[in-house]
Amino acid sequence: MSEKQPQNESNLSEKTVVLRRARLNAATSSLMRFSFKECCFKPVADEPDIEIEGSLVHKDSEEGQILCAEKEVGRKSKTLFSCITTATQTTINPPREVACQTESQPLLVNYSATANQWEIYDFYQEELQKRTSSTKKDEKENEIAEGAEGVHGNLSLLRDFTDKSDHDLAMLSTAAKLLEYAVNENINGDIIADFKHFEDEADEFRGDKGTLLPLWEFQYNKVKSLPVSALCWNKKYNDLFAVGLGSHKFTELECGMLLFYTWRNNNHPEFLFNTDSGVMCVDIHEQKSHLVAVGLFNGNVCVYNLMAKGDQPIYNSMASSGKHSGTVWQVKWWEDDLYGNHTFFSVSADGRVVSWTLGKYELFSTNIIKLPPMDKVPDDLNNVIVTAGLTLDFHKQKPYHFLVGTEAGKIHKGSTHYTRFIKTYEAHFRMVSCVRWNPFNPKVFITCGMDWRVNIWDETTDSPVFTFDLKSSVMDVAWAPYSSTVFAAVTADGKVHVFDLSINRFEALCQQRVVSTKRHLTCIEFNPVHPIIIVGNDRGLVISLKLSPNLRKNPKEEKGKEPSTGAEVEIAKMEKLLILMR
């Protein structure tokens, strides 16, 4: 409150200080507060109405004096109010909760698979096939060949086949075959062990003689009455051989069979073909071992393809104009002709040697040569009474040379280049049943005949170098593929005779009866690789025999020299013998 002073001139120049004080009218100096502790009203001191925390310290307080003192010194002091660090200055944010919520996961499915090396490989193969087939756009690429690669792991095949509802058991043929082999292996376990390992040790004590150990027997139950007329080993698959069944006697059955056996299954043939006439001869092509030429009793020749399904031959000479009018006694494959067509020769009872070429749809025949008539036949009957040719063989090194044996006991040497025979040998008194060139020596051949004789010839001489009398009609003879001096012959009294000329020039090393006395043996063949032979008898039975070590010996070498093998050695061996005999 200010006193009102009269406003005159002297007052106007005076400066007066006016103090204004803020004071709540409501708040009086007589404030009373109830104290719960003492349970009475107590006067409240004149407190400030507003309290704000500050950082000022009163100069006269204790702290203030310390601060002043320190300020003069110049030191930083760390009191509560003047300490400035990051810790004191950092504002601490109040904690906040931040949460993240995702959408609910999709339904979990359990998946398991294996990733083997073959699964990866199969997948890649499939991809590769898909890509090549799409680029080539060839329908044939997609054809699934039976037994093709990836048989077991081919996933697409598996998927396709499991979808089929019908049980197509035809696909099981390979598996069934394998199973049959395994079952037979178990049954014939001892035979197989003998075949592989048995070497007759008694041979050491027998001097030069050897024996034949019988191994498997092959007989097809349904043909007990047909004689075995031909045997032929397959050169490519050494366990497979062909058996031709047929009779050349008019009184017996007019049918024939061609069977293929492997020693892995001696119970049942691998391939079976029925022919309407007796099979007289069989030959398997050397390179294309699925082609089989067969000569029949009724004069036909057929060619079978083992890879083709079905019972029928792929070629048959029935419709051909040049077909034989007599029994075909021997067929032999020859080289391919200029155009690459396969060719084979046949010799038959009508006295002709004919070559057949496998054309696209049929056989083409070419007359090679006609056998000269027998001496006793008068000239005007030459064309009517013919000399039957019974056997034929091609030279191993010079394939255009061949030998033909006739029923007159003569051997004719001919060539495909000439139309007449080069040479004739008076071989036997009766029919010649077999003629074969030596596999090593180019000059030597062997013949056997119904006159009980086996003759070995040098082609340059007119009389045989060696002659053996075997006391019974010799039905077949064969050279051994491993030696130029070993051969074996079968006779009608059921014996097998094995000779080795380098060891014994006069008698057989082994003369063993293989079948019972009443049965004849008709054919013999050496296996090209293993030391076994097969012989056939006249009741459809084929027996395989193992040659004992004595029959397979190489001649003793001089001490210090290594034993040598090979074609040259074999040729030399034979040469030595020939020189001896001259």
Contact residues for other proteins, defined by CB under 8 A: 114, 116-118, 120-122, 149-154, 157-158, 161-162, 167-180, 182-184, 186-187, 189, 267-268
Tell me if 513 sits within 8 A of 505, measured CB to CB.
Answer: no
Strand 363-370 and strand 301-305: pairing? unpaired
Nearer of residues 65 and 173 to other proteins, judged by Cβ: 173
Angle formed by the axes of helices 155-163 and 117-136, nearest 10°: 80
What is the smallest separation between the CB atom of 168 and other proteins, expressed in angstroms? Answer: 8
CA distance 421 to 410: 12
CA distance 409 to 431: 5
The tokens of 302 are what? 């057929």
Nearer of residues 107 and 169 to other proteins, judged by Cβ: 169
The tokens of 428 are what? 């036997």
What is the smallest separation between the CB atom of 141 and other proteins, expressed in angstroms? Answer: 19
What is the smallest separation between the CB atom of 562 and other proteins, expressed in angstroms? Answer: 39
CA distance 355 to 363: 10
CA distance 261 to 517: 26
DSSP 330-366: EEEE----TTS--EEEEEETTSEEEEEEE-SSSEEEE
Task: For residue 474, count other CB atoms closer than 10 A to its CB.
Answer: 28
What CA dihedral angle connects 394, 395, 399 and 405, to 10 degrees?
Answer: -30
What is the smallest separation between the CB atom of 132 and other proteins, expressed in angstroms? Answer: 18
CA distance 261 to 487: 24
Q: What are phi and psi of 35, to 5 degrees?
A: -100, 120
CA distance 81 to 57: 9
Instruction: List, in sequence order, every beta strand (DSSP E) within 450-567.
Output: 453-458, 466-469, 474-479, 486-491, 495-500, 510-513, 521-526, 532-537, 541-547
What is the smallest separation between the CB atom of 171 and other proteins, expressed in angstroms? Answer: 6
What is the smallest separation between the CB atom of 511 and other proteins, expressed in angstroms? Answer: 34
CA distance 135 to 470: 71
Nearer of residues 147 and 340 to other proteins, judged by Cβ: 147
Nearer of residues 126 and 575 to other proteins, judged by Cβ: 126
What is the smallest separation between the CB atom of 110 and other proteins, expressed in angstroms? Answer: 21
What is the smallest separation between the CB atom of 294 and other proteins, expressed in angstroms? Answer: 22
CA distance 324 to 351: 9
Nearer of residues 91 and 114 to other proteins, judged by Cβ: 114
Nearer of residues 66 and 187 to other proteins, judged by Cβ: 187
What is the smallest separation between the CB atom of 420 and other proteins, expressed in angstroms? Answer: 51
Angle formed by the axes of helices 189-197 and 173-187, nearest 10°: 80
Q: What are phi and psi of 433, to 5 degrees?
A: -95, -25
CA distance 143 to 153: 17
Tell me if 557 sits within 8 A of 527, measured CB to CB.
Answer: no
Nearer of residues 265 and 406 to other proteins, judged by Cβ: 265
Tell me if 297 sits within 8 A of 246, measured CB to CB.
Answer: yes
Nearer of residues 174 and 419 to other proteins, judged by Cβ: 174
Nearer of residues 27 and 171 to other proteins, judged by Cβ: 171
Nearer of residues 134 and 173 to other proteins, judged by Cβ: 173
DSSP label at residue 441: -
What is the smallest separation between the CB atom of 184 and other proteins, expressed in angstroms? Answer: 7
What is the smallest separation between the CB atom of 95 and other proteins, expressed in angstroms? Answer: 58
Tell me if 555 sits within 8 A of 563, measured CB to CB.
Answer: no
What is the smallest separation between the CB atom of 130 and other proteins, expressed in angstroms? Answer: 18
Tell me if 415 sits within 8 A of 408, measured CB to CB.
Answer: no
CA distance 112 to 491: 71
What is the smallest separation between the CB atom of 454 and other proteins, expressed in angstroms? Answer: 40
Nearer of residues 104 and 117 to other proteins, judged by Cβ: 117
Task: For residue 127, count other CB atoms closer than 10 A to its CB.
Answer: 10
CA distance 563 to 555: 9
Nearer of residues 92 and 170 to other proteins, judged by Cβ: 170
Nearer of residues 180 and 200 to other proteins, judged by Cβ: 180
Nearer of residues 161 and 418 to other proteins, judged by Cβ: 161
What is the smallest separation between the CB atom of 189 and other proteins, expressed in angstroms? Answer: 7
